[in-house]
């Protein structure tokens, strides 16, 4: 099947408002992971295409986009948000076919993208500087200014949400963007840019160059015409990006991986916790940076939680994305190999339950069985490494001190949660857990447009989402006037 969906040319780049064939004339195949079939060819952008996109962004800054007031930018973003909603079904189906995400989850991503546009549209004219008391005879104030051209390199797991949070905030502050989506997931990025253009975003304010990370991605990260890089992806590539941008002294935001724990104490409301414990591990087939892959449970309720989670796992079904099961396939055959290799390393562990792949799911799809392990030593590779698949480990603990020690024992620090009825303990845990977000008696894997998000340690640095992102996508100029 070949798609030419939603008025986009998938084998072209969108630069300066026009569909442009990649300069090298090359394309890459795109696969539907639900059945392994070929979807279409996409553009294999190269350095020259990134040059053109950066030039188009610079031109936009010198044109109508650069002259737009904050209120006008806000109005355009809000309009884009409504246009995204109008195209919700098409966008959700496109994403489901491209990355294997069950339709309901793909639709949630569309709604999050629309909400990001609404949120950042509303925020665009509410960011302002300060006046600062200084020496006698001076008036000093600060101006919040855009960086200029911002580069956005994003992964395949939540393309629409990540575009919403990074491109949305960057545009709100008046930057012009060059977006390099993942090679496995560029269709909704192209469709979104087209929708934004039709909703009134001036040409060149958002340019999309699909292609390989080592080619188009590296060219963007090391471009001297780019003034800020937002990268979401793996730790290994994040380190490379930081080096590449660092050579030009360009600031970077790194949103990397995680091994996020949920900590369940004896006094927790187990029935309330259960759906969160499981969903946070299997949402998007576990391919979520903020997936909760470690469940730490106090010994008094350990057997109860293991049994209840095993029950839920037994009922889980994985199948084609458009059939909307609990899980779709993984994004690719390659991702299936990676996750299968981790599962093989769990051979000596206590596997308490596995969900099933539906009998009708094509053998050619990238399916794995969701798998739950119990009694996993905290230093085991499955309790330390990010798997990026539907695999969770259960770890027992005795007391609060041990829970904190185990929870903080990985090099990551993205998200964590504490389930307990004890208010004082909730406050202690919120401070002690190393994470950019801590949830008390709930867990939001990837959720919360309004909530600042980001990590520490190998999970990265900088914050996106919420109002906080607007500071990251802008810079402060101090003006000191002497008037005597």
Tell me which residues touch Mg ion (CB under 5 A). Answer: 98, 184
Task: Choose from ligand NAP, Mg ion, none: what does 237 bind? Cβ within 5-8 Å by kind.
Answer: ligand NAP
Q: CB nearer to ligand NAP: give 157 or 369.
A: 157
99 binds ligand NAP (CB under 6 A): no
Residue tagged active-site, from 118, 255, 386, 464: 255
Q: CB nearer to ligand NAP: give 314 or 452.
A: 452
Q: Which two tokens stand for residue 231?
A: 């990268």
- CB 48, min distance to ligand NAP, A: 16
Among 27, 46, 232, 284, binds ligand NAP (CB under 6 A): 232
213 binds ligand NAP (CB under 6 A): yes
Which phi and psi (to 5°) does residue 194 adopt?
-65, -45
Residue tagged active-site, from 118, 289, 400, 418: 289
Task: Choose from Mg ion, ligand NAP, none: what does 98 bind? Cβ within 5-8 Å by kind.
Answer: Mg ion
State the Cα–Cα distance between residues 101 and 285, nearest whole angstrom.
8
Stretch that binds ligand NAP, among 15-23, 150-158, 169-177, 314-322 (CB under 6 A): 150-158
Let me know: does 80 contact 91? Beta carbons within 8 Å: no
Stretch that binds ligand NAP, among 19-27, 45-53, 232-240, 264-272 (CB under 6 A): 232-240
State the Cα–Cα distance between residues 207 and 51, nearest whole angstrom.
11
Given CA atoms 21, 27, 31, 37 in this order, what sign does their dihedral have?
Answer: positive
Which phi and psi (to 5°) does residue 315 adopt?
-90, -5
Q: Binding to ligand NAP (CB under 6 A): which residues in 383-422?
A: 386, 388
State the Cα–Cα distance between residues 62 and 56, nearest whole angstrom.
10
Q: How far is CA 224 from CA 46, 59, 228, in A?
A: 16, 16, 10
183 tagged catalytic = no
Strand order in the sheet with 228-232: 18-20, 13-15, 206-208, 176-180, 149-153, 228-232, 252-255, 460-461
| Binding pattern for the stretch 436-465 against ligand NAP, x by CB under 6 A and - elsewhere | ------------------------------
- CB 99, min distance to Mg ion, A: 5
| Binding pattern for the stretch 287-326 against ligand NAP, x by CB under 6 A and - elsewhere | --x-------------------------------------
- CB 30, min distance to Mg ion, A: 5
Tokens 């927790």 -> residue: 268
Q: Which helix (H) or strand (E) element contains residue 218?
A: helix 218-221
90 tagged catalytic = no
182 binds ligand NAP (CB under 6 A): yes
Render 395-409 in DSSP notation, one character per residue. EEESSHHHHHHHHT-
Which phi and psi (to 5°) does residue 120 adopt?
-75, -25
Which residues does the annotation mark as catalytic?
255, 289
């Amino acid at each position: 099947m070949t798609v030419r969906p939603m008025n986009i040319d998938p084998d072209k780049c969108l630069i300066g408002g026009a569909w442009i064939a990649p300069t090298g004339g090359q394309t890459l195949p795109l696969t539907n992971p639900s059945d392994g079939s070929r979807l279409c060819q996409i553009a294999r952008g190269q350095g020259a295409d990134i040059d053109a996109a950066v030039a188009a962004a610079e031109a936009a800054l010198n044109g109508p986009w650069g002259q737009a007031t904050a209120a006008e930018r806000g109005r355009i973003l809000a309009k884009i948000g409504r246009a995204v909603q109008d195209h919700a079904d098409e966008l959700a189906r496109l994403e489901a076919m491209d990355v294997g995400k069950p339709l309901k989850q793909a639709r949630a991503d569309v709604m999050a993208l629309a909400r990001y546009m609404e949120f950042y549209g509303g925020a665009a004219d509410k960011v302002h500087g300060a006046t600062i008391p200084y020496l006698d005879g001076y008036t000093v104030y600060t101006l919040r200014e855009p960086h200029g051209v911002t580069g956005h390199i994003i992964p395949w797991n939540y393309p629409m949400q990540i575009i919403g949070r990074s491109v949305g905030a960057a545009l709100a502050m008046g930057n012009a963007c060059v977006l390099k989506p993942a090679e496995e997931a560029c269709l909704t990025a192209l469709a979104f840019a087209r929708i934004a253009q039709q909703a009134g975003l001036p040409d060149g304010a958002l340019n999309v160059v699909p292609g390989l990370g080592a080619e188009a991605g590296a060219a963007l990260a090391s471009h001297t015409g780019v003034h800020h890089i937002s990268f979401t992806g793996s730790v290994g590539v994040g380190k490379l990006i930081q080096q590449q941008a660092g050579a030009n002294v360009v600031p970077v935001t790194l949103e990397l991986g995680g091994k996020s724990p949920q900590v369940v104490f004896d006094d927790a409301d187990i029935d309330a916790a259960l759906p969160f414990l499981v969903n946070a591990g299997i949402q998007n087939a576990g391919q979520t940076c903020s997936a909760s892959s470690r469940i730490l449970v106090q010994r008094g309720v350990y057997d109860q939680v293991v049994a209840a989670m095993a029950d839920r796992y037994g009922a889980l079904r994985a199948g084609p994305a458009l059939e909307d099961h609990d899980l779709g396939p993984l994004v690719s055959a390659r991702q299936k190999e990676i996750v299968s290799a981790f599962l093989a390393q769990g051979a000596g562990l206590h596997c308490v339950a596995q969900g099933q792949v539906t009998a009708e799911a094509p053998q050619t799809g990238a399916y794995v069985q969701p798998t739950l392990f119990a009694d996993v030593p905290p230093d085991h590779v499955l309790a330390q490494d990010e798997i990026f698949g539907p695999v969770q480990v259960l770890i027992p603990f005795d007391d609060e001190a041990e829970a904190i020690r185990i929870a903080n024992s990985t090099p990551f620090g993205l998200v964590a949660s504490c389930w307990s009825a004890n208010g004082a303990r909730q406050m202690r845990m919120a401070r002690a857990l190393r994470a950019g977000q801590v949830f008390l008696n709930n867990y939001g894997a990837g959720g919360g447009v309004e909530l600042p998000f980001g990590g520490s340690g190998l999970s990265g640095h900088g914050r996106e989402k919420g109002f906080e992102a607007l500071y990251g996508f802008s810079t402060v100029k101090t003006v000191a006037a002497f008037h005597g």
